[in-house]
Amino acid sequence: MKLGILIYSLSGGGAERVVSYLVTYCVKNNIDVHLILMNTTITYNIPENTKIHYLETSQGNESGIKKALKIPLLAYKYAKLVKKLQLTHSLSFLTRPSFINVIASKLTNHNFKVITNERAFPSLQYSYKGFQSSFNKTLIKALYKKSDLVISNSHGNAADLVDNFEVPSEKMKVIHNPIDLRKIEDAEPNTTFFDSEKFNIITLGRLDIGKNHEMLIRAVHKLQNPILRLYIFGVGDLKEEFEQLIDELDLKDQVFLMGFNTNPYQYLKTADLFIFGSNHEGFPNVLLEAMACGLPILTTNCQSGPSEILELETVLDDIMITDYGILVPIKNTDLMAKGINHFVDNRTYADSCRRNSKYRIQDFEKDSILKKYIDLVNSTT
């Protein structure tokens, strides 16, 4: 097998982290792997001898329309590269690289297996108005079914692709996200950052509309509890908007935008609660990372991911209490605030979540998950 892994970049993000793990696993196990990028940003560690190729060296702030218009040209370039490298399998991560992957297979007489990897819940991720959402939904329906194999990271988004985007069920496979337990265990906790007299809440994620950090900020404001502190780690287009909101709500002493950090584990290990407000997900790595750090979880019950991770049994229009944390309906500031209060008032429950998570997280240990990827790709003939 000669494997090509195609993704836009290795900037901060869950899919990018999985690719860095997968490339490292392949190099370590003498699997002939080529990493193909469209942007030079590499935030995550990969082996120095990794074979890297660039279809282009674009800027990350390109408009959605420009990115869409470039897809045919990039697919043509990728088709030529796949043939030059004599790849037998091409595995793409995220939507646009997957479009390029499928189209490239139609532009060359070189036969290779096309594996696409969807990590979000497309029906919800692209439910917003605008060109980009309509364009992506149309191409997902037209192209994904032409893959030889489609891998999703949760049963929820697999069902979405089958039910709403015409992907044949026999082409769908589910592999949950891997977690680097050893790296997390080795990370030294930052014991001086948080004020131990406060209730310190942490979240990680891009500052965009889908992650719904605004709801978290408003939940803290609603509670009017001076011991609460919310630390938001991430970068994105909504930074200035959130800065204004924090100022308007007079929360400058309670809510902090921390930017991107390559070692969030040092903070996760010493916070009191991990909170997550996303409207839609595939299978959020950040929940796994927080659980691996021993944090109780408060998350929205978006249609794919959190309920699988927290093993939710019954869906309610209220807070939903599990052995690992609490889920609440999406876009519900009142119930998110109620969930925060539950943890503040029930420290014994929070402690039990910490203990239980240490056992649950073993199901997502990195090497066993990565082996599943390689075995599945290799079996695609």
Q: pLDDT tens across 333-381, in order?
A: 999 999 999 999 999 999 999 999 999 999 999 999 999 999 999 998 7
Angle at 82 between CA 79 and CA 84, to 5 degrees: 105
What is the structure's pLDDT at 48? 93
pLDDT digits (tens, 9 = 90+) for 68-83: 999 999 999 999 999 9
Q: For residue 125, is pLDDT > 90?
A: no
Least confident of 98-107, 117-126, 238-247: 117-126
Report the run of H or E that residue 116 belongs to, with start and end: strand 113-118
pLDDT at 13 over 90: no
Pairing of strands 320-321, 325-328: antiparallel
Residue 281 reports pLDDT greater than 90 = no
pTM: predicted TM-score of the whole model, two decimal places? 0.79
Which of 341, 337, 339 lies closest to 219, judged by CA? 337
- Taking a C-beta distance cutoff of 8 angstroms, is the pair 328, 338 a contact? yes
Residue 303, pLDDT > 90, answer no
Mean pLDDT, rounded, of the chain: 95
**Domains of the chain, start order:** 2-178+365-378 (3.40.50.2000), 182-363 (3.40.50.2000)
pLDDT over 90 (residue 124): no
Q: What percent of the chain has pLDDT over 70?
A: 100
Helix axes 131-143, 155-165, angle to 10 degrees: 90
Of 1-5, 280-284, 306-310, minimum mean pLDDT range: 280-284
Alpha helices in 14-172 (DSSP H): 14-28, 64-69, 71-85, 95-105, 122-125, 131-143, 155-165
Of the candidate ranges 195-199, 246-250, 302-306, 348-352, the one whose mean pLDDT is the lowest:
302-306
C-alpha radius of gyration, the chain, whole number = 21
Helix axes 14-28, 285-292, angle to 10 degrees: 70
Q: What share of the chain is helix, strand, coil (3-state, %, to 5)?
A: 45, 20, 35
**Per residue in 200-224, pLDDT tens?**
999 999 999 989 999 999 999 999 9
Q: CB within 8 A of 187, min separation 6: which ones? A: 263, 265, 266, 269
Q: What is the C-alpha to C-alpha distance for residues 215 and 336, in angstroms, rounded to an integer?
A: 8
Contact in structure between 103 and 72 (CB atoms under 8 Å):
yes
Dist CA 105 CA 109 (whole Å): 8
Check: CB of residue 219 under 8 Å from CB of residue 336.
Answer: yes
d(CA 194, CA 227): 12
Res 226 pLDDT > 90: yes
Query: Would you state the pLDDT for residue 252?
Result: 97
135 CB contacts (<8 Å, ≥6 apart)? 64, 68
